[in-house]
Structure 1
């Protein structure tokens, strides 16, 4: 009786201990799940904020693209109109004032030494139309080089002080030659000292359209030649519209990539958590199995023999080792996916404009991860970095954009099997991020135009022609420089030099 009671009590104790162990494991899993939930909530809040910022930026960019296309369409329509040169100059001024959002504008036409148009106090405003302002009219006239007789290819910019507010502003002007010895100037006065480079680039098309139209009116007998030029302008306009649409598509792809990264991030978190817990539970089973084996061997006889037979039949030790290795490989794969998702999110979302300390080695490695699918089966990528990391100040997302652009170009230009090398070097003041390839290289003419917006050597549909110009803008905003050397048939070397932190 006593032995039976003692055995029953032992079974109850063992059952309670098993229950306690089970509850402890459940509590541990719940703690891990709660921690992951808090992490997911923090990530979701951050993603929501970044997504909102990205949407605002996309809307601003979309409105700017719309204004640019409307301006280009209007300028192209004016090009094909049959109106006298003076009227065309005024029409072009109206378009430029409206597009640039200038405070006011004025047109001047000089014939011989006489100012035939613009010698008055009238200025043109988008809101007020033509109105009298002697101070502004005098400022625009004084800042315009009316004695110049050589056409210049781009808008010139002068820093001035507005006579009405005494604040700094900018005067933009350019000149074009008209028929019968006439010269015309378009002059704009900005609201303040802020002037966007992209706006100035789009305004440059005004001079192109004006020159063609004025030549058309002065040489009506050369109808065939003019038709060819009109066709060329239409192609240029269509090309620009296509590139602008492509740029919008690339921006949208960035947003989609950010959304996909967010969608991957949530389920991979669950997989990561479950894998960690499953591995711990398996370790407990493995430990229990070892204890059972020890007890069976200690008991000996038929029990020990049966355990040994089962162990051999199911290869328990080998299977346990293989499962443990599977868990380790799964964890490594999950961590790699998480790193790629983090890199993709930081690359896709717009930056806040703040500069932080960046690891040069991390920047290089991130660029390699983001382009892994492009070079994995095509080129071997080598990395040469110093033993001690190098740091510089900048925006991580923008620097990644620059490096990804250069690495992508290297992959595109390098034949299969040839290597691409990424290096980190430094001198006393700067860090150098270097991308070298053994590709087809560039001619001197191509190298001279490599930073020109919309210029690309890739087939239609495979490149926007904006990557290099955007990269240059980003690096210059970081007070850095880009140096490119290339030889046809031998390869290209790109050096991005940035100040040390």
Structure 2
């Protein structure tokens, strides 16, 4: 019994020992498994941390690249807006301040050694707003070698103490030559020294963009000047073509006038001669009739009565007076035709461009005769020469062309019944030929364009707009000039000044 109990207890002990050993083995395996799990978890956690850090770095790099691309894209887009040099500089400044997250920025422009932009107290903030801050504006200006006249190759960085926060900061700056003797300065104030080399490299593209814009604006300005010159040449060419056409028409008109003058001159000579002779013959007949009348009166009686009756019946006395007046009027008309022919001949043969001594009164009289059909029944045209006649050197046909143009314009602008005065005056060593009308006058705008080729206030078809332009050219070739005074509703006074002989 006791042996049996001992054996049972021993079995229990052995069983418990085996159980303990089994538990120890399980615990050991669990410790190893736990250690392995902890090691694996530590490795996984470290890998996760490294992956997270790498992801964060990639995300930051992506954001940085995005900012760089946005900055480059924005700066490049500004080139397409064709801004002026100054406008592009300030746009580039705003992009740079936003790109690097600067505290503020400012641009300065120096021309011929003087500050022409940036001499105020404002600075550009990161949000694109300009704010008054005299301390920061002064700080930025003091950090720039403003009188330097050599371009920087890259951005320069100065370490400064901010006067507002008394903390260390950085000033980035560079200078660009915009034009000859004109320089642009950029200055950016950053919070710290967080800018890396790559960001500065990207920021450095601002300089290249400004250089490109400057060259573009220079080429654009040069092209604009060339286009203006080309346009001016085209206008001059068109003007010359029109003047050549006008000159050709004037030459044809001159030939026609010469032909008419020649054709009229011969027959009018016969008419004049015959009229003078007929007047003399009629005068002889009248004297003879008077003698017959005296003889009849001396004879008296029936002879005298019949003669007197015949004289009254045929109105011989009245007819004789009327015929005498007709002869006088005819001769006056013939003389007028002869004067017109002379004026036409003078207009047609200007003396091959030679200048001769001319009379101002004769020149004006010729112009009056050539335009008589325009003003005879419309205006009162009179010549005033209180100081007497004056002489000058000139081409008779060309001077006549100028005066005819002045007088024609005056007639056109003057209402029926009103006066046009032509005056001859002397002023120092100048001869003044003046055409003054009581017409509608001209406004200041019209007066400024009066010598512009093809400018006219006449209806289409009534004028070419070349008269005053050609007149100015002729007068300048004669060493004179034209002065015009006009007032709307009062009239116009055109003065031709030429050197006295």
State TM-score, norm by structure 1.
0.52
Query: Corresponding residue for 1:273?
Result: 273
SS of alignment partner, residue 461 of structure 2: coil
Cα distance, 1:421 vs. partner? 1.6
Q: In angstroms, what is the RMSD of aligned CA positions?
A: 3.5
Secondary structure of the corresponding residue to residue 325 of structure 1: helix
Tell me by how many angstroms 1:413 deviates. 1.8
| Compared CA separation, residues 244 and 425, structure 1 to 2 (3 A) | same
Q: Tell me: CA distance 1:263–1:204, structure 2 relative to 1, closer, same or farther (3 Å).
A: farther
Structure with more contact order per residue of length (Cα contacts < 8 Å, sep ≥ 6): 1
- 1:213-245 CA-partner distances (Å, limit 9, x unpaired): xxxxxxxxxxxxxxxxxxxx9x99999877764
How far is the alpha carbon of 1:340 from its aligned partner?
A: 1.3
The aligned runs of 1:293-372 (5 Å cut-off) are 293-372=293-372
Which residue of the partner structure matches residue 458 of structure 2? 458
User: Structure 2: where are the runs of 5+ without partners?
Assistant: 1-178, 181-213
Is contact 1:356–1:393 with CA below 8 Å preserved after alignment?
A: yes
Task: Say whether 1:397 aligns with 2:424.
Answer: no
1:121-132 alignment, distance < 5 Å: none
The answer as to whether partners of 1:351 and 1:398 remain within 8 angstroms in 2 is: no
1:250 CA drift (Å): 4.2
Taking the aligned partners of 1:453 and 1:349, their CA distance within structure 2 comes to 26
Query: How far does residue 387 in structure 1 lie from its aligned partner after superposition?
Result: 5.2
CA drift at 1:182: 4.5
Contact 1:375 1:411 in 2 (8 A): yes
1:76-121 per-residue CA deviation (whole Å, 9 max, x = no partner) reads xxxxxxxxxxxxxxxxxxxxxxxxxxxxxxxxxxxxxxxxxxxxxx
Q: Structure 1, residues 52-94: CA drift from partner, whole Å, max 9, x if none?
A: xxxxxxxxxxxxxxxxxxxxxxxxxxxxxxxxxxxxxxxxxxx
The 3-state SS of whatever aligns with 2:440 is coil
CA deviation digits over 1:465-484, x for unaligned, max 9?
22112111211222111111
Q: 1:280 to 1:429 in 2, by over 3 A?
A: same
Q: Are 2:296 and 2:307, in contact at CA under 8 Å, matched by a contact in 1? A: yes
User: Aligned residue pairs: how many?
Assistant: 289
Conservation of the 8 A alpha-carbon contact between 1:247 and 1:464: no
Q: Distance between the aligned counterparts of 1:461 and 1:478, measured in 2? A: 30
Whether the 8 Å CA contact 2:350–2:395 is kept in 1: the answer is no
| Matched residue, 1:415 | 415
Question: Tell me, what secondary structure is at the counterpart of 2:271?
Answer: helix
Contact 1:246 1:464 in 2 (8 A): no
Give the corresponding residue for 1:68: none
- The C-alpha deviation readout for 1:176-223, integer Å capped at 9, x for no partner, is x9978648999xxxxxxxxxxxxxxxx99971299xxxxxxxxxxxxx
CA gap of 1:253–1:239, structure 2 versus 1, over 3 A, is same
* Number of the residue aligned with 1:485: 485
Moved more, 328-337 or 457-466: 457-466
Distance 1:240 1:304 in 2: 80
What is the Cα deviation at residue 348 of structure 1? 2.9
Q: 2:360, 2:237 → 1: CA distance?
A: 41
Counterpart Cα distance in 2 of 1:354 and 1:256: 22
CA contact 1:385–1:424 (8 Å) conserved in 2? yes
- Residue matched to 1:207: 230
Where in structure 1 do 4 or more consecutive aligned residues deviate above 6 Å?
A: 177-180, 183-186, 203-206, 235-243
- Return closer, same or farther for 1:462/1:314 CA change in 2, 3 Å cut-off: same
- Is 1:427 equivalent to 2:461 in the alignment? no
- Matched ranges for 1:4-83 at <5 A: none
Q: Determine the C-alpha separation between the residues in 2 that align with 1:488 and 1:297.
A: 71
Offset, 1:351 = 3.2
Distance 1:437 1:370, change over 3 A: same
User: Greater shift after overlay, 235-244 or 319-328?
Assistant: 235-244
Gap regions ≥5 residues in structure 1: 1-146, 149-176, 187-202, 211-232
Q: Which residue of 2 aligns with 1:13?
A: none
Separation in structure 1 between the aligned mates of residue 304 and residue 487 of structure 2, nearest angstrom: 76
Cα 1:248/1:179, change in 2 over 3 Å:
farther
TM-score normalised by length of structure 2: 0.52
Contact 1:243–1:464 (8 Å) recurs in 2: no
Q: 1:338: how far off?
A: 0.8
- Work out the CA distance in 2 between the residues paired with 1:384 and 1:178: 64
What's the offset of the Cα at 1:273? 0.9
Matched residue SS, 1:386:
coil
Q: Which has the larger radius of gyration?
A: 2
* SS at structure 1 position matched to 2:422: strand
| Corresponding residue of 1:442 | 442
Which residue in 1 is equivalent to 2:476? 476
Cα distance, 1:361 vs structure 2: 1.6
Classify the secondary structure of the residue corresponding to 1:492: strand
